[in-house]
Amino acid sequence: MMKITDQARDLLNQILEYEEAGCLRLFFAGYGCGEPDIGMAIEEPAGDDELRHINSIPVAIDKRIVHLAEQLTIEGKQTMEGPKFQMLGLPEKDC
Within-domain flag for 93: no
| Digit-coded pLDDT (tens) for 16-63 | 999 887 899 999 988 877 777 899 999 999 999 999 999 999 999 999
Strand (E) or helix (H) holding 13: helix 6-19
Question: Could you read off the pLDDT of 51-69 as tens digits, one per residue?
Answer: 999 999 999 999 999 998 9
Q: Domain range for residue 41?
A: 3-88
- Specify the amino acid at residue 24: L
4, 12 contact by CB (below 8 A): yes
User: Is residue 94 one of the residues assigned to a domain?
Assistant: no
User: What are the strands of the beta sheet with 3-4, ordered from one edge?
Assistant: 3-4, 73-79, 82-88
CA 1 to chain centre: 13
Tell whether 71 is covered by a domain. Answer: yes
Evaluate whether 27 touches 39 at the Cβ level (below 8 Å).
yes
Residue 79: which CATH number? 2.60.300.12
Does residue 95 lie in a domain region? no
Say how many domains are in the chain. Answer: 1
pTM to 2 decimal places: 0.88
Decide if 21 is inside a domain.
yes
- Residue 77 domain flag: yes
